[in-house]
Structure 1
C-alpha cells in the first residue's frame, strides 16, 4: 500500500484507497520526537499519543509548530492530542471506573499485558508504591471525574497544549459506563 489508507469492506479483507480520492491530510502519530517524526512534520497533521506516552508532549507540539511549512496538503499546523477520559455522573464513580485502566497499566509495568479487568475498590491492595508511581506517571493525562471536574481538566489541558483537536480514549470495563463517559464528554464540549 502506498500513499493511501487501508480499509476493510464486505467484499475484500483489505483495500487500498488513495488519499487523493478521500481528500484527507496525512496524520503523523507520535509518542516521542524521533527523526522520522521530525522529517514528516511539515507534511501532515500531528496526533500525539499522550494517553499512554505523556513525556515530551509539549516539546513535540512546539517542535511541530516551529518546523511546519505550508504545503498543498496543509496550509497551517494542526495538532491533535489523545487523552484518557473517565467521566461519570460523579467523581467517586469515575475514580472507581478508572481502576480498570490503572490495573491495565499496572500489568504493563509488570510485563504482563492482558485484557481490561473490572474495577476494584482499592488499588493499594494490588500495587506497590513504586508501581503506583510508575502507573500514575504514565496516566498523568488521564482526566477522571464528574462532568464539572472533567470539564475543568480538559480546559486546563487545552490551554496548556493549544491543541486544535482532542481525541478521547476511555478504557472502561463496563460498556454502558464507557458509553456514558463519552456522552458526558460530548455534553461538555458541545
Structure 2
C-alpha cells in the first residue's frame, strides 16, 4: 500500500458495508477479539476511532503531568550522580539507574552504599527513581529501599523483571524460576512495608 492509495481508501460506511456483505448477515462484532487482559481489539480502526495510545491516568504531579526520565549508566557512581543531578536540574522529572557491578553496561554498583552514592542529593520525594538491574533486580530493590528508608513518601520503581533480563541476556545465571521467586518475594516484602 502506498501513501497515494490511501487517498482512494473507501469511507467507513463503504468498508462496513463490504465487510457485512462478506460476513453474510453476521454482525461486525463477530470480528472483535480480545487481549489476554480482556481489552477489545476491533478488526479496523478508522481515524478518530479506537483506543487511545495512552491511558487517561491522573497525573502524579499537578505541576508536571508528564515524566521525562533521565537514564544514567556511567560506570563511576560519583559521575553517574553528577549526570543525574544535571539532568534533573535541566528538566528531567525522574531517574533511571542502570546497574551493572562490572561497570560494562551500567553504573558499577554492588551495594546499598554504592547506590546511595549514585543517588546522593537526589530528593526521592520529588524525583522518582527507577532501577534497571537485570538479574540483580531483587537485590538492587532492597538497596533502593534501604536508601529511601526515612523518606516515607519516596517515589520508587524497582522494575524487577527477570524475564526481560533473560530476553536481553539470552541466558540466565541459574534457573529462571528462582529469579522469579526471588523477585516475587522481595516485591511482597517491600509492598508490606508501605
Normalising to structure 1: TM-score of the pair? Answer: 0.36
Higher relative contact order (CA closer than 8 Å, sequence separation 6+): 1
The structure where strand makes up a greater share of residues is 1
Normalising to structure 2: TM-score of the pair? Answer: 0.35
